[in-house]
Amino acid sequence: MNLSVNINAMRAHSDWMAVNANNVANVNTEDFTANDTVITEGPVASIRPTAKETDLNREIPDQIVIEKGFEAQTSAIRTQDEMLGTLLDMKA
């Protein structure tokens, strides 16, 4: 797997978490409009404003999904790094 794919996925998850955290932090702010994050194929996640109230029953579990996705990408990068290190050790 290409390292840039993992890095882009981590950026998308980071953007998603930022939007999610902003929604949670402003749940009681008057006239606050929550945003939604849509992760699409490509280098960045797209963020679209929504005219709905923040639903903590959705936002909090989403944070768990975001965390697990970030961990998965980190694990893939770590594995790629270890494999490259092994190949370099074999070559030397």
Q: Is the pTM for the entire model greater than 0.95?
A: no
**pLDDT tens digits, 7-46:** 888 888 888 899 899 999 998 888 888 888 877 776 666 6
Nearest to 45 by CA among 22, 17, 65, 72: 17
Q: What is the pLDDT of residue 34?
A: 86
The per-residue DSSP string of the chain comes to: --HHHHHHHHHHHHHHHHHHHHHHHTTTSTT---EEEE--SSSS-EEEE-SS---HHHHHHHHHHHHHHHHHHHHHHHHHHHHHHHHHHHH-
